[in-house]
Amino acid sequence: MALTGKNLIAGQWTGETENGFVAFNPALNQPMTTRFADATDAEVEQAIVAANKAFYPYSQLSAEKRAQFLDTIGEQILALGDDLVKTACAETGLPEARIIGERGRTVGQLGLFANLLRGGEYTAVIDKADPAREPLPKPDTRLGYLPLGVVAVFGASNFPLAFSTAGGDTASALAAGCPVVMKAHTAHPATAELVAQAISSAITLCELDSGVFSLIQGENYGIAEQIVKHPLVKAVGFTGSERVGMILQAHINQRPEPIPFYGELGSINPQFVLPAKLAENPAEIAQGLVASMMMGQGQFCTSPGVWLVVDGEQTEAFEAAVKASVEAQSAGVMLSPAICRTYQQTVAKWQDIPGVSLLAFGQQGESHLAQAAVFTTSLATFIEQAELQEEVFGSTALIVKCSEASELLQFVSALRGNLTASIHAADADISLAGELAIPLAHKVGRLIYNQMPTGVEVCASMNHGGPFPASTNVRSTSVGSEAIKRFQRPICYQNLPAELLPSLLKD
């Protein structure tokens, strides 16, 4: 199916594309040709109202029907074939192997939730009646879960498939029984449209209400405000920058009715290289960190942005290995010109921060490409300069050289919330690792030992979230099967006859 450039509003492709916006091919450094509509207020309203209308019938579907729908979306995404891969590569500058891998993960996520639904989407808690209890009889009470209602999802720039149109937020919301109104990221509107076509086909094949999914295109920022303030929207999922996330949060705070906002924002993912580990093989750990930093051109939310070492005999060898490794890195394509510009400006700015030194640049490329960069600083400077705790989206890292091991604990104490942290330790480091692990756990959503933070398992025990600003809602994960809980809420059924109970709550 050809691209329309339009919005998908409850089954209809609508909108004026003539004066619309275009995507950009960051690898070719040139705009693309398809024009995309800016959704109007009326279209956004129509999408949300249709989603709300679809809510009760959709939420009443059996778990098996919802599972079939998720599986069908996955099949339809695969049926898009090479078109989808080529389009996503063109719009994001990400390599084909990565997009194919991400497509697999996206389909896998849909399958994970389908399996969850088939296995029982929640664990029922049943306390039966005890009419003989004194002083008062105990009624029959059963705890189940209901979907929240219409969920708004904002696509992420850095995962055009796995955190976008049919990504983790959409999959978990649909699994929970919530219709989704999706705002496509402006950097990959064609990828979004193709995936929306797949979802639309799945809706038709599964004979569902077309209001279950709508795709909103548009550069006009007012669209986001309209969506998150809408009284029929009952939860919002977002992955992006702290700056944009906090604008959405401010809009949501103006609602008369509070709703959950699942914003996955910034993270610097500190890497603690403990002394014995560093001594074992400084070059190996250096190369491992640089490789992790370079993944996706540093555009992973779990990119290791700060590396801590205790200054000692091995520091020089470590820094030399980092330098050699960074200098061998080619300049790379970033997701969009705006992202690349921000990265370049931040790297330039860091060179002027007193107490921060440039250790190494990667290879220089054309002006639209990003050059890797690693800096060094002291703990005192890191603590003084608040901006060093802000995520720099791209292939850069800051080595914080601590004068002694106790400074690692001071660092943890000053640290804001993060998605992840890794402790790299040898056997001789175990006692220091234990001391660090306790306070560090309270600052992160995932605590890692001797592994790099990039690469997030999609499984039941994953947590992708963490204290603010890693997430605006520390009690939730945006990856893994627990993500469905963001869009469900508890309900107690008291003394209900069996025929009125949800199937999971019957005897």
Q: Going by DSSP bridges, is the β-strand pair 357-361/373-378 parallel, antiparallel, or unpaired?
A: antiparallel
Q: Do 408 and 382 form a contact (C-beta atoms < 8 A)?
A: no
Smallest gap from residue 465 Cβ to a copy of itself (A): 7
Select from 67-75, 288-296, 321-329, 429-437 the region that touches a copy of itself (CB under 8 A).
Answer: 429-437
Stretch that binds a copy of itself, among 31-39, 87-95, 108-116, 468-476 (CB under 8 A): 468-476
- 126 touches a copy of itself by CB under 8 A: yes
Q: Rule CB under 8 A: say whether 503 interacts with a copy of itself.
A: no
Q: Does 474 bind a copy of itself (CB under 8 A)?
A: yes
Q: From CA 215, how far away is CA 150, in angstroms rounded?
A: 13
Decide: residue 410, CB within 10 A, 0-12 exposed, 13-18 middle, 19+ buried: middle
Q: Is there binding between residue 253 and a copy of itself (CB under 8 A)?
A: yes
Q: By CB under 8 A, how many residues form the interface with a copy of itself?
A: 71
- Is residue 51 within the footprint of a copy of itself (CB under 8 A)? no
Stretch that binds a copy of itself, among 4-12, 113-121, 205-213, 467-475 (CB under 8 A): 467-475
Please tell me whether residue 496 binds a copy of itself under the rule CB under 8 A.
yes
**Terminal-residue alpha carbon distance, the chain:** 48
Cβ atoms of 464 and 215 within 8 Å: the answer is: no
Examine residue 447 and tell whether it contacts a copy of itself (CB under 8 A): yes
Among 31, 120, 222, 455, binds a copy of itself (CB under 8 A): 455
- Rounded to whole angstroms, the Cα distance separating 350 from 338 reads 18
Region of 152-160, 162-170, 276-284, 431-439 interacting with a copy of itself (CB under 8 A): 431-439
Q: Is residue 475 part of the contact set for a copy of itself (CB under 8 A)?
A: yes
Query: Please, are residues 106 and 77 in contact by the beta-carbon 8 Å criterion?
Result: yes
Binding to a copy of itself by residue 490, rule CB under 8 A? Answer: yes
The interface region with a copy of itself, picked from 289-297, 341-349, 351-359, 439-447 by CB under 8 A, is 439-447
Give the residue, chosen from 41, 64, 387, 457, that forms a contact with a copy of itself under the rule CB under 8 A: 457
Residues in region 58-87 near a copy of itself by CB under 8 A: 59-60
Show which residues are catalytic. 264, 301
Residues 236-260, buried b or exposed e (16+ Cβ, 10 A)?
Answer: bbbbbbbeebeebbebbeeeeeebb
CB 106 within 8 A of CB 167: yes
Give the separation between CA 98 and CA 103, rounded to whole angstroms.
9
Q: Which of 16, 460, 503, 506 binds a copy of itself (CB under 8 A)?
A: 460
The residue with tokens 């609508």 is 14
Q: For residues 318 and 487, which CB has a smaller minimum distance to a copy of itself in the complex?
A: 487
Contact of 237 with 478, CB cutoff 8 Å: yes
Residues 194-223 within binding reach of a copy of itself (CB under 8 A): none
132, 258, 366, 507: which one binds a copy of itself (CB under 8 A): 258
For the record, the structure tokens of 74 come out as: 């996955």
At 110, the amino acid letter reads L
Nearer Cβ to a copy of itself, position 337 or 467?
Answer: 467
448 is an interface residue for a copy of itself by CB under 8 A: yes
308 φ, ψ (degrees, to nearest 5): -110, 130
> Which one of residues 146, 279, 283, 291 is an interface residue with a copy of itself (CB under 8 A)?
146
The span from the CA of 503 to the CA of 367, in Å, is 60
